[in-house]
Every structure is written in C-alpha cells, then in structure tokens.
Amino acid sequence: MSQSLTPGRFTPQALAALRLVTGLLFIEHGLVKLAGFPEGAQPGQQPLLSLFGVGGVIELVTGLLVVVGLFTRPAAFIAAGQMAVAYFMFHASQGFYPVLNGGEPAILFAFVFLLLSTTGAGAYSLDGQRQSRARLAAA
C-alpha cells in the first residue's frame, strides 16, 4: 500500500480539527453563561457563584486549553466530567431518551472530550511543541 493511502496518515490533523471545533463550541457555551453572549442564547448570563456560573468558568477555561492544545488531556477529562454531570443533573430527569430530553449535545461533548483525554491534542498543539522541546533537551 502506498504511503499516501495509509489508513491513519492524517489522524493527528483530524484530531486537531476535532479539538479546535469542540473547544470553540465549548467556549461559546461558557460565554453564554458568563457574559450573556450571544444575546438571547439560553441560559443567558448567570451569577458567577451559581452552578451555571461555575459551569461557565469550566467551559471557558477548558475550552481555551483544548483549542490551543495545552494540558489537553486533563482539561478534556474535566470537561467530559462536567458534561456527564450536566447530563444527569439537567437532562436525564426530563426523560430516558436523549433525543427527547435535550441531552444529545452533552453526551456528544462528553464522549469527544473523553476521546481527547485519551488521544491527546493531535497536531498543531502547544502540548506537541512542549513534547518536541523535551525530546530535544533530553537528546
């Protein structure tokens, strides 16, 4: 099989794309809760020390870390945990089926973040740059 058709050849770049999009969407959720941006989005701006406010801080910080690929594994693990908590606290009580209880995004975020917590950031990340520098320093 030629090098250009090798399965998995672009896995690091695909992980980077998934990481960037997921992190940006997560930042958006945090901005809604912390700044009320964009206006009209639910749940809207929340008090910082409320459950939603703390959730917004977690979403903003872990989303930023995931986007730049810094401390990706622990940030993604924390984000996955927050999404699991969000699902069971706010969605599961609305009914068993995620399509009916509105919990599909929380489940999807949780599993994408679990994937990133095990695979790492992929290409184009600060984690990757840190690892390259560490390898060069050790050589």
Q: How far is residue 117's CA from residue 74's CA, in Å, rounded to a whole number?
A: 6
Angle made by CA atoms 79, 119, 59, in degrees to the nearest 5: 15
| Domain contains 115 | yes
Indicate the pTM of the whole model.
0.90
| Domain contains 4 | no
| Domain contains 5 | no
* pLDDT tens, position by position, 28-76: 999 999 999 999 999 999 999 999 999 999 999 999 999 999 999 999 9
Number of structural domains in the chain: 1
Give me the domain span that covers residue 72: 11-138
Average pLDDT for 91-113? 96
What pLDDT, on a 0 to 100 scale, did the predictor assign at position 1? 47
